[in-house]
Amino acid sequence: MDPIDRLISWQAIYDLSCDYMRAQDRLDPALHIAVFHEDATTDYGAGWQGDAPGFVEFAQRVLTPQKANHHMIGQVRIDFESADMAFGEVYFQAHHRIAAEGGERDMFVAGRYVDRYERREGVWKIAHRSELVDWVRDEPAADLPGGETMFPWGARAPNDLSCRREEMSLR
């Protein structure tokens, strides 16, 4: 694999992880499924094991009732096995605002995605994704009193500013 192809391929694979996280935070199932090859498999332990379309349906169903989600990518390691296959380890931290009996809760999950990527017909996508959890923390929601902040709050698609680019061109 020549160095330029490796750089372009690394960026394409990294973009898959960014799109995956965005799809979960904005509740965008079309973007969510787009990061996977049609025959991709997933392993999320007891939560879900199976094909990618089933996982996306499962994940979107789990995330929808939550008030907000915020996924962050940490270090990313991508090792190219060949010009068309790579393996990756993507660290993440996720915040989930959950409505629960007795008040809202903040659940924090940190872990890693262990992936196999394949380039087919010139396009890199996830061929297999496993999620490993390294730690979880669950606690009462801890916002400023009344949820006040001088900044606007993020939202789900299509209400989030990142989904309304036409407003950005007017500023």
Other C-beta atoms within 10 Å of 114: how many? Answer: 16
Dihedral sign from CA coordinates of 7, 43, 109, 98: positive
pLDDT one-digit tens code per residue, 20-76: 999 999 999 999 999 999 999 999 998 899 999 999 999 999 999 999 999 999 999
Using pLDDT thresholds of 50, 70 and 90, give the confidence band for residue 166. Answer: confident
Q: Which of 4-13, 57-66, 91-100, 140-149 shows the lowest mean pLDDT across its residues?
A: 140-149
pTM, rounded to two decimals: 0.90
How far is Cα 109 from Cα 97, in angstroms, rounded to an integer?
A: 12
Sorted by where each starts, the structural domains of the chain and their CATH numbers stand as 3-169 (3.10.450.50)
Residue 161: predicted pLDDT: 82
**pLDDT value at 93 more than 90:** yes
